[in-house]
Amino acid sequence: MFSALDRSRLELLNFDCYGTLIDWHAGVRAAVGQIASLHGCDLERLVRDRDEHDQQQVLRGYAPYGVKLGESLRAAAAQQQREPSEAEVRRFVDSMASWPPFEETRAALRRLGALYQLAVLSNVETRVLQASLAAIDVEVDFFVTAEQLRSYKPARAHFDAALERGRRDKSRVLHVAASLFHDVRPALALGWNVAWVNREHEPVRSDSVPQLVVESLNELCETLRC
């Protein structure tokens, strides 16, 4: 825990969804495992490569996230000389709405929701996020999607929309996320309070020092004394 955060001022917690609330990598691994043309590939490499291509995709301007997700899979597969069919790519994209929450997510959000308003800021289509929130089964006060804004994090549109919809000064908001690229660094650059959910135990870098670093949502609950 870092001392810069004044817990007494917090009223709203904004969460990224995929990788923070939803087990993104487990979903990718399970979905790739169902693609016959990718059987026998280096799965961990494909997951890493797909993440890198995803980052490149969201910097290229707006298109529906399903399109970008499919393109990132194709590009990662091509690095291992694989070419999934259009039907396989579509099944992969469609599976995203059923990717599972982390085991802790539902209980942790209910604990946090007893003290704070909750919001979700996500780079996906609205219907996909709604399906994921239904699986989590916790009410949030509002959400912001790339489809609504025609913009992707790390651009600032999500963060501006969250302040407008939440009707809060950013000093009263904590942004909770796992991705340094999509969330932690841009939120810090905009002067937000940030809690980094560092599930992968990465080192804290000098160019992105958040107010809180936790390894799980349960640890976040304990830190905020929920």
- Average pLDDT (140-155) is 97
pLDDT confidence of 1, banded at 50, 70, 90? Answer: very low
pLDDT of residue 7: 82
pLDDT of residue 205: 80
Q: Is the pLDDT of residue 37 over 90?
A: yes
Question: Above pLDDT 70, what percent of the chain?
Answer: 98
Query: pTM score > 0.85 for this model?
Result: yes
Q: Look up residue 205 and give its two tokens.
A: 């870098």
Question: Above pLDDT 90, what percent of the chain?
Answer: 90
* Averaged confidence pLDDT in the chain: 94
Q: Which of 9, 16, 175, 12 is nearest to 105 (CA)?
A: 16
Q: Is the pLDDT of residue 135 over 80?
A: yes
Residues 177/183, Cβ–Cβ less than 8 Å: yes
pLDDT confidence of 3, banded at 50, 70, 90? Answer: very low
- Average pLDDT (99-128) is 97
Domains of the chain in sequence order: 7-23+100-223 (3.40.50.1000), 24-98 (1.10.150.240)
Residues 149/165, Cβ–Cβ less than 8 Å: no
Q: Is the pLDDT of residue 64 over 90?
A: yes
Q: How far apart are CA 220 and CA 39, in angstroms?
A: 38
User: In degrees rounded to 5, what are phi and psi of residue 86?
Assistant: -60, -40
Q: Considering Cα of 192, then 193, then 195, then 201, what sign does the dihedral take?
A: positive
Catalytic residue among 6, 16, 42, 160: 16
pLDDT of residue 4: 65
Residues 117/141, Cβ–Cβ less than 8 Å: yes
Q: Considering Cα of 74, then 78, then 80, then 84, what sign does the dihedral take?
A: positive
**Is 16 known to be catalytic?**
yes
